Amino acid sequence: MRMNESRRRFLATFGSAGAIGIMGVSTPSAQEAPPETSTIRLFKMPGICIAPQYVAEEMLKSEGFKDIEYFDTGINTYAALMSGKADIGMAFVANFIVHLDAGAPIVLLGGVHTGCYELFGTESVQGIRDLKGKTVAVPELGSAHQLFVSSMMTFVGLDPARDVNFVVYSPAESIELLAERKVDALMGFPPVPQELRERKIGHLIVSSGLDRPWSQYFCCTVGANRDFARRNPVATKRALRAILKAAQFCSAEPERAARLMADKGYRYDFALQTMNEIRYASWRDYAPEDAVRFYALRLREAGMIKSTPNKILTEGTDWRFFDELKRELKG
């Protein structure tokens, strides 16, 4: 009986999702089967920019998930995916690359938006080159914040290992230190930039969502635990679809999305600003492999990874579902 069920499931999965790739699939999908699991686990962290992940809760229900769990991870969302505590989630592409370089059991599935990070500084910092010899606050060494600043520095020819002094403070402490000019710059994602603007602290140096080349590449991407994706390809695609639909919703109905975020404990006004500022509807316009190539090159230049972009792309990504969803979801 067990063997028959397994065989049926295999055939259903194979028939619905194709043949072998990173997720056990390579041919175009035919019709989808129900998800292989009715439980899906996502992380919750302080950032508002991954709003589609939270807003997706109702969409996940319509995709057939019954138990949808969100749990707090702080900013270290990647560990939750690697350990299998979380099944799928949105996070900064550069950190995914660093973890893939180290052999983490993660697979990158697609991109959601091009930017939410903003580099703020004191009057002594007017551009990225001015970071040389300065102090930059980040919440953790190896955090997305540090990787983003490092990528920006290598892009203008600086060496982040030598040319800047990273100091570790929580986002709340960093804001106060910038106000007191005890740090020269900080990198933040919503709601930090919103608070800085509200309190008129520092000034904007780079907005990853607006300033090229950063605005031309996905910033927040969707990754999944590799084992989860392999065992549950239909569920993985359905969860990705829910997140992408939610991204569209954040763009089309910012007030409603902000209210959903407020229900989850985020400040409504900051959430609304974020919905209006981030280009959530642009997920069809960019190629996630471009983002992986771009950031992998920056990180390699900075000596933070050893793998080539091609190796990361070959071993750590599977865009098949994302490509299919680009065709299935229009608008």
Partner 1 sequence: MRAALILALVMPASILPASVMSMEPPSDTRQATAQEQPLPKIAPAPGFTLTSQDGAQVSLADLRGKVVAVTFIFTRCSATCPVLTPMMSLVQDRLGRDFGNEIAFASITVDPEHDTPETLKLYAQMHGADVAGWSFLTGSPRTISELTRRYGVLASRNVSGDIEHTFLTSIVDRHGILRVQYLGVRFDPEEFRRDLLSLLREP
DSSP-based three-state secondary structure for 26: coil
136: left (phi over 0), alpha (psi -120 to 50) or beta: beta
Kindly state the smallest distance separating residue 257's Cβ from partner 1, in Å.
Answer: 10
- Give me 186's structure tokens: 């900080």
For the CB of residue 281, give the shortest distance to partner 1 in the complex, in Å: 8
Task: State the virtual CA torsion across 297, 302, 303, 307 in degrees, nearest 10.
Answer: -10
Under a CB-based contact definition with an 8 Å cutoff, are residues 326 and 109 in contact?
no
Nearer to partner 1, 8 or 181 (CB): 8
Taking the C-alpha atoms of residue 261 and residue 256, their distance in angstroms, rounded to an integer, is 9
Q: Which residue, 75 or 112, has its beta carbon nearer to partner 1? A: 112
201 vs 281, beta carbon nearer partner 1: 281
**Considering beta carbons, is residue 19 or 156 the nearer one to partner 1?**
19
Question: Scanning the structure block, which residue is given the tokens 């397994």?
Answer: 6
Q: How far is the CB of 331 from partner 1 (least distance, A)?
A: 3
Least distance in Å: CB of 245 to partner 1?
6
- Using left for φ > 0, alpha for ψ between -120 and 50, and beta otherwise, residue 200 falls in left
Chain residues that interact with partner 1, rule: CB under 8 A: 28-32, 58-59, 61-63, 245, 248-249, 252-253, 256, 281, 324, 327-331
Q: Which is nearer to partner 1, 15 or 157 (CB)?
A: 15
Q: Provide the minimum distance between the beta carbon of 11 and partner 1 in the complex, in angstroms, as a whole number.
A: 17
Give the nearest distance from C-beta 67 to partner 1 in angstroms. 16
Please, which residue, 253 or 301, has the CB nearer to partner 1?
Answer: 253
Min dist. Cβ of residue 246 to partner 1 (A): 9
User: What would the DSSP string read from start to end of 59-118?
Assistant: HHHHTT--EEEEEE-TT-HHHHHHHTS-SEEEEEHHHHHHHHHTT-SEEEEEEEES---E
Listed residue (42, 61, 62) closest to 53, CA to CA: 42
Q: What is the C-alpha to C-alpha distance for residues 229 and 48, in angstroms, rounded to an integer?
A: 25
User: Which residue, 158 or 271, has its beta carbon nearer to partner 1?
Assistant: 271
